[in-house]
Amino acid sequence: MGLSKALVLAAAVGCAADEVPPSTAADSATNAPDVAGTITGANVVTIRARDFAFEGPTEIPAGLTTFRLANAGPDIHHAQIIKLDEGKTGADFAAAIKAGGPPPSWARVAGGPNVPLPGHESNATSVLAPGNYALVCFVDTPDKVPHLFKGMVHNFRVVPASTPVAPDPTPTTTIDMKDFAFDLPITLAAGAHTFRVVNSGAQPHEVQLFKMMPGKTMRDLQAWAHSLAGPPPAAPIGGVVALPPTGHAFFTASLEAGDYVLFCFFPDPATKKLHFDLGMMKTVKVS
Protein backbone atom coordinates (compact mmCIF):
# COMPACT_ATOMS: atom_id res chain seq x y z
CA MET A 1 0.00 0.00 0.00
CA GLY A 2 1.27 3.47 -0.69
CA LEU A 3 0.50 7.01 0.00
CA SER A 4 -1.61 7.26 -3.10
CA LYS A 5 -4.04 4.95 -1.40
CA ALA A 6 -3.95 7.06 1.70
CA LEU A 7 -4.45 10.23 -0.27
CA VAL A 8 -7.34 8.97 -2.29
CA LEU A 9 -8.99 7.16 0.57
CA ALA A 10 -8.80 10.33 2.54
CA ALA A 11 -9.99 12.28 -0.43
CA ALA A 12 -12.99 10.08 -0.88
CA VAL A 13 -14.04 9.72 2.70
CA GLY A 14 -12.22 12.55 4.40
CA CYS A 15 -14.02 15.55 3.13
CA ALA A 16 -17.24 14.15 4.49
CA ALA A 17 -15.83 14.87 7.90
CA ASP A 18 -14.09 17.99 6.73
CA GLU A 19 -17.04 19.72 5.25
CA VAL A 20 -19.80 18.50 7.49
CA PRO A 21 -19.83 19.83 11.07
CA PRO A 22 -19.99 17.01 13.63
CA SER A 23 -23.58 17.77 14.62
CA THR A 24 -24.71 17.60 11.02
CA ALA A 25 -22.68 14.46 10.49
CA ALA A 26 -24.44 12.88 13.44
CA ASP A 27 -27.84 13.92 12.10
CA SER A 28 -27.18 12.61 8.62
CA ALA A 29 -25.95 9.44 10.21
CA THR A 30 -29.40 8.06 10.37
CA ASN A 31 -27.86 7.05 7.04
CA ALA A 32 -25.04 5.33 8.84
CA PRO A 33 -26.19 2.63 11.21
CA ASP A 34 -23.80 1.48 13.89
CA VAL A 35 -22.74 -2.03 14.70
CA ALA A 36 -25.68 -4.28 14.03
CA GLY A 37 -24.73 -7.38 15.88
CA THR A 38 -22.11 -9.48 17.52
CA ILE A 39 -20.32 -12.57 16.30
CA THR A 40 -20.84 -15.60 18.53
CA GLY A 41 -17.64 -16.72 20.19
CA ALA A 42 -15.54 -13.78 19.05
CA ASN A 43 -13.39 -11.88 21.51
CA VAL A 44 -14.46 -8.23 21.25
CA VAL A 45 -11.74 -5.59 21.23
CA THR A 46 -12.81 -1.96 21.30
CA ILE A 47 -10.52 0.55 19.65
CA ARG A 48 -11.19 4.21 20.20
CA ALA A 49 -9.96 6.57 17.50
CA ARG A 50 -9.56 10.31 17.89
CA ASP A 51 -7.50 13.07 16.32
CA PHE A 52 -4.84 11.65 16.24
CA ALA A 53 -4.44 8.53 18.33
CA PHE A 54 -5.78 5.05 18.90
CA GLU A 55 -6.65 3.78 22.35
CA GLY A 56 -6.91 0.05 22.85
CA PRO A 57 -5.37 -3.00 24.49
CA THR A 58 -1.72 -3.85 23.92
CA GLU A 59 -2.21 -7.58 24.45
CA ILE A 60 -4.97 -9.60 22.80
CA PRO A 61 -5.60 -13.36 22.97
CA ALA A 62 -5.35 -15.23 19.67
CA GLY A 63 -8.48 -16.48 17.92
CA LEU A 64 -11.65 -15.10 16.37
CA THR A 65 -11.60 -11.38 17.18
CA THR A 66 -14.03 -8.55 16.52
CA PHE A 67 -12.45 -5.12 16.36
CA ARG A 68 -14.99 -2.43 17.07
CA LEU A 69 -13.76 0.96 15.92
CA ALA A 70 -15.41 3.79 17.84
CA ASN A 71 -14.57 7.06 16.14
CA ALA A 72 -14.60 9.95 18.58
CA GLY A 73 -13.57 12.25 15.70
CA PRO A 74 -13.90 14.96 14.75
CA ASP A 75 -11.99 13.66 11.73
CA ILE A 76 -12.63 10.29 10.07
CA HIS A 77 -10.44 7.25 10.74
CA HIS A 78 -10.05 3.59 9.99
CA ALA A 79 -7.94 0.91 11.67
CA GLN A 80 -5.73 -1.07 9.30
CA ILE A 81 -4.26 -4.15 11.02
CA ILE A 82 -0.63 -4.69 10.04
CA LYS A 83 1.15 -7.95 10.87
CA LEU A 84 4.78 -7.17 11.64
CA ASP A 85 7.82 -9.39 11.82
CA GLU A 86 9.32 -9.71 15.28
CA GLY A 87 11.36 -6.69 16.28
CA LYS A 88 9.45 -4.27 14.06
CA THR A 89 7.05 -1.64 15.38
CA GLY A 90 4.26 0.53 14.05
CA ALA A 91 6.70 3.44 14.20
CA ASP A 92 9.09 1.50 11.95
CA PHE A 93 6.21 0.91 9.55
CA ALA A 94 5.22 4.58 9.53
CA ALA A 95 8.84 5.54 8.86
CA ALA A 96 9.07 3.06 5.96
CA ILE A 97 5.87 4.38 4.40
CA LYS A 98 7.04 7.95 4.87
CA ALA A 99 10.32 7.10 3.11
CA GLY A 100 8.38 5.88 0.05
CA GLY A 101 9.36 2.96 -2.11
CA PRO A 102 7.78 -0.48 -2.10
CA PRO A 103 5.90 -1.71 0.97
CA PRO A 104 8.31 -3.27 3.47
CA SER A 105 8.61 -7.06 3.23
CA TRP A 106 8.33 -7.35 7.02
CA ALA A 107 4.79 -5.95 7.13
CA ARG A 108 1.58 -7.44 5.78
CA VAL A 109 -1.95 -6.07 5.68
CA ALA A 110 -4.47 -8.05 7.73
CA GLY A 111 -7.86 -6.36 7.52
CA GLY A 112 -9.48 -4.24 10.22
CA PRO A 113 -12.55 -2.01 10.44
CA ASN A 114 -12.96 0.56 7.67
CA VAL A 115 -14.24 4.13 7.96
CA PRO A 116 -17.43 4.99 9.87
CA LEU A 117 -18.74 8.53 10.27
CA PRO A 118 -17.41 10.48 13.25
CA GLY A 119 -19.43 9.61 16.33
CA HIS A 120 -20.19 6.17 14.98
CA GLU A 121 -18.76 2.67 14.94
CA SER A 122 -17.62 0.12 12.43
CA ASN A 123 -16.40 -3.41 12.98
CA ALA A 124 -14.40 -6.23 11.43
CA THR A 125 -13.92 -9.81 12.59
CA SER A 126 -11.16 -12.25 11.69
CA VAL A 127 -8.92 -14.88 13.23
CA LEU A 128 -5.77 -13.42 14.78
CA ALA A 129 -2.67 -15.60 14.96
CA PRO A 130 -0.14 -15.01 17.74
CA GLY A 131 2.50 -12.45 16.89
CA ASN A 132 3.45 -8.83 16.59
CA TYR A 133 0.97 -6.28 15.18
CA ALA A 134 0.08 -2.63 14.81
CA LEU A 135 -3.03 -0.65 13.92
CA VAL A 136 -2.45 2.30 11.62
CA CYS A 137 -4.66 4.97 10.02
CA PHE A 138 -3.86 6.03 6.47
CA VAL A 139 -6.53 8.71 6.30
CA ASP A 140 -4.85 12.07 5.67
CA THR A 141 -7.43 14.78 6.25
CA PRO A 142 -7.47 17.68 6.81
CA ASP A 143 -3.98 18.60 5.61
CA LYS A 144 -2.89 15.64 3.42
CA VAL A 145 -0.69 14.27 6.18
CA PRO A 146 -1.60 10.62 6.80
CA HIS A 147 -2.71 10.12 10.38
CA LEU A 148 -0.10 7.41 10.98
CA PHE A 149 2.49 10.18 10.75
CA LYS A 150 0.65 12.09 13.50
CA GLY A 151 0.55 9.32 16.03
CA MET A 152 -2.22 7.04 14.81
CA VAL A 153 -0.12 3.94 15.33
CA HIS A 154 -0.96 1.42 18.04
CA ASN A 155 1.27 -1.57 18.70
CA PHE A 156 -0.22 -4.76 20.10
CA ARG A 157 0.79 -8.34 20.66
CA VAL A 158 -1.42 -11.35 20.05
CA VAL A 159 -0.68 -14.06 22.60
CA PRO A 160 -1.59 -17.75 22.45
CA ALA A 161 -5.03 -18.53 23.89
CA SER A 162 -5.96 -21.59 25.90
CA THR A 163 -9.42 -21.86 24.33
CA PRO A 164 -10.09 -23.29 20.86
CA VAL A 165 -10.66 -20.85 18.00
CA ALA A 166 -14.37 -20.11 17.60
CA PRO A 167 -15.86 -21.07 14.25
CA ASP A 168 -16.49 -18.46 11.57
CA PRO A 169 -19.98 -16.96 11.65
CA THR A 170 -22.55 -17.81 9.00
CA PRO A 171 -22.73 -14.83 6.67
CA THR A 172 -25.88 -13.34 5.20
CA THR A 173 -23.88 -12.14 2.19
CA THR A 174 -20.44 -12.82 0.72
CA ILE A 175 -18.40 -10.09 -0.94
CA ASP A 176 -15.82 -11.65 -3.25
CA MET A 177 -12.99 -9.23 -4.07
CA LYS A 178 -11.22 -9.91 -7.37
CA ASP A 179 -8.68 -8.16 -9.61
CA PHE A 180 -10.69 -5.91 -10.21
CA ALA A 181 -14.32 -6.39 -9.26
CA PHE A 182 -16.66 -6.91 -6.35
CA ASP A 183 -18.83 -9.98 -6.73
CA LEU A 184 -21.99 -9.90 -4.62
CA PRO A 185 -25.74 -9.65 -5.21
CA ILE A 186 -26.90 -6.32 -6.61
CA THR A 187 -29.96 -6.31 -4.36
CA LEU A 188 -30.06 -6.89 -0.61
CA ALA A 189 -32.84 -6.90 1.96
CA ALA A 190 -32.91 -4.08 4.49
CA GLY A 191 -31.86 -5.03 8.00
CA ALA A 192 -28.92 -6.59 9.76
CA HIS A 193 -26.23 -8.19 7.63
CA THR A 194 -23.13 -10.22 8.36
CA PHE A 195 -20.84 -9.80 5.37
CA ARG A 196 -18.11 -12.31 4.63
CA VAL A 197 -15.35 -10.52 2.72
CA VAL A 198 -12.91 -12.73 0.83
CA ASN A 199 -9.95 -11.69 -1.28
CA SER A 200 -9.67 -14.06 -4.23
CA GLY A 201 -7.42 -11.70 -6.18
CA ALA A 202 -3.66 -11.50 -6.47
CA GLN A 203 -3.38 -8.05 -4.86
CA PRO A 204 -4.54 -6.73 -1.49
CA HIS A 205 -8.09 -5.38 -1.61
CA GLU A 206 -10.40 -3.53 0.72
CA VAL A 207 -14.08 -2.79 0.83
CA GLN A 208 -15.40 0.57 1.96
CA LEU A 209 -19.18 0.68 2.08
CA PHE A 210 -20.94 3.98 1.40
CA LYS A 211 -24.58 4.94 1.62
CA MET A 212 -25.35 7.24 -1.25
CA MET A 213 -27.11 10.53 -0.61
CA PRO A 214 -30.53 10.63 -2.27
CA GLY A 215 -30.29 10.98 -6.04
CA LYS A 216 -26.52 10.39 -6.13
CA THR A 217 -24.85 7.53 -7.99
CA MET A 218 -21.65 5.53 -8.01
CA ARG A 219 -20.41 7.66 -10.90
CA ASP A 220 -20.98 10.78 -8.80
CA LEU A 221 -18.86 9.24 -6.06
CA GLN A 222 -16.14 8.25 -8.54
CA ALA A 223 -16.08 11.75 -10.01
CA TRP A 224 -16.08 13.30 -6.58
CA ALA A 225 -13.21 11.05 -5.44
CA HIS A 226 -11.12 12.60 -8.22
CA SER A 227 -12.33 16.19 -8.11
CA LEU A 228 -13.24 16.68 -4.44
CA ALA A 229 -15.55 19.38 -5.72
CA GLY A 230 -18.52 20.17 -3.54
CA PRO A 231 -20.00 18.08 -0.76
CA PRO A 232 -19.43 14.30 -0.81
CA PRO A 233 -22.32 12.40 -2.40
CA ALA A 234 -22.14 9.53 0.09
CA ALA A 235 -21.58 8.69 3.75
CA PRO A 236 -18.96 6.08 4.78
CA ILE A 237 -20.40 3.25 6.89
CA GLY A 238 -17.59 0.79 7.47
CA GLY A 239 -16.28 -2.29 5.73
CA VAL A 240 -12.91 -4.06 5.89
CA VAL A 241 -9.54 -2.38 5.28
CA ALA A 242 -6.99 -4.15 3.06
CA LEU A 243 -6.88 -7.93 3.24
CA PRO A 244 -4.05 -9.95 1.71
CA PRO A 245 -4.67 -12.39 -1.16
CA THR A 246 -6.63 -15.44 0.14
CA GLY A 247 -7.51 -13.51 3.29
CA HIS A 248 -11.02 -13.21 4.63
CA ALA A 249 -12.87 -11.29 7.33
CA PHE A 250 -16.41 -10.37 8.37
CA PHE A 251 -18.22 -7.15 9.14
CA THR A 252 -21.73 -6.46 10.30
CA ALA A 253 -23.94 -3.53 9.37
CA SER A 254 -27.60 -2.64 9.61
CA LEU A 255 -28.75 -1.43 6.22
CA GLU A 256 -31.68 0.88 5.58
CA ALA A 257 -33.40 1.07 2.23
CA GLY A 258 -31.43 2.99 -0.36
CA ASP A 259 -28.49 2.81 -2.70
CA TYR A 260 -25.13 1.67 -1.39
CA VAL A 261 -21.77 1.64 -3.13
CA LEU A 262 -18.65 -0.46 -2.48
CA PHE A 263 -15.22 0.99 -3.30
CA CYS A 264 -11.67 -0.32 -3.21
CA PHE A 265 -9.05 2.42 -2.98
CA PHE A 266 -6.00 0.20 -3.15
CA PRO A 267 -3.46 1.22 -5.85
CA ASP A 268 -2.51 -1.10 -8.71
CA PRO A 269 1.30 -1.15 -8.91
CA ALA A 270 1.37 -1.67 -12.70
CA THR A 271 -0.95 1.14 -13.79
CA LYS A 272 -0.77 3.35 -10.67
CA LYS A 273 -4.55 3.53 -10.94
CA LEU A 274 -6.74 2.95 -7.95
CA HIS A 275 -8.75 -0.23 -7.97
CA PHE A 276 -12.10 1.54 -8.17
CA ASP A 277 -11.05 3.08 -11.48
CA LEU A 278 -10.19 -0.42 -12.70
CA GLY A 279 -13.62 -1.78 -11.87
CA MET A 280 -13.66 -2.23 -8.09
CA MET A 281 -16.81 -0.28 -7.43
CA LYS A 282 -20.31 -1.57 -7.34
CA THR A 283 -23.82 -0.35 -6.58
CA VAL A 284 -26.12 -2.42 -4.40
CA LYS A 285 -29.78 -1.56 -3.91
CA VAL A 286 -31.23 -2.23 -0.47
CA SER A 287 -34.99 -2.51 -0.16
Q: Rounded to the nearest whole angstrom, what is the least distance from the CB of residue 37 to Cu ion in the complex?
A: 26
Nearer to Cu ion, 10 or 264 (CB): 264
In the set 54, 149, 182, 266, which binds Cu ion (CB under 5 A)? Answer: 266
Q: Rounded to the nearest whole angstrom, what is the least distance from the CB of residue 266 to Cu ion in the complex?
A: 4
From the list 137-145, 154-162, 184-192, 278-286, the region that binds Cu ion by CB under 5 A is 278-286
Q: Rounded to the nearest whole angstrom, what is the least distance from the CB of residue 18 to Cu ion in the complex?
A: 24
Check if the beta carbon of residue 142 is closer than 8 Å to that of residue 121: no
Nearer to Cu ion, 256 or 268 (CB): 268
In the set 84, 264, 281, 284, which binds Cu ion (CB under 5 A)? Answer: 264
- Based on the shown chain and the rule CB under 5 A, indicate whether residue 275 belongs to the binding site for Cu ion: yes
State the Cα–Cα distance between residues 10 and 200, nearest whole angstrom: 25
Q: Rounded to the nearest whole angstrom, what is the least distance from the CB of residue 265 to Cu ion in the complex?
A: 8
Angle CA(91)–CA(95)–CA(101) in degrees, nearest 5? 140
- Based on the shown chain and the rule CB under 5 A, indicate whether residue 88 belongs to the binding site for Cu ion: no
Nearer to Cu ion, 154 or 275 (CB): 275
Nearer to Cu ion, 18 or 176 (CB): 176
Beta bridge partners, 71, equal 49
- Based on the shown chain and the rule CB under 5 A, indicate whether residue 5 belongs to the binding site for Cu ion: no
- Based on the shown chain and the rule CB under 5 A, indicate whether residue 280 belongs to the binding site for Cu ion: yes
Q: Rounded to the nearest whole angstrom, what is the least distance from the CB of residue 205 to Cu ion in the complex?
A: 3
For the segment 101-160, give every residue that binds Cu ion (CB under 5 A).
none
- Please tell me whether the peptide bond between 180 and the residue prior to it is cis, using omega within 30 degrees of 0: yes
Nearer to Cu ion, 205 or 216 (CB): 205
Nearer to Cu ion, 205 or 211 (CB): 205
User: Which residue, 272, 225, 210, 203, is CA-closest to 8?
Assistant: 225
Site map (CB under 5 A) of Cu ion, residues 169-208, x = contact? ------------------------------------x---
Q: Rounded to the nearest whole angstrom, what is the least distance from the CB of residue 274 to Cu ion in the complex?
A: 8
The footprint of Cu ion (CB under 5 A) covers 205, 264, 266, 275, 280
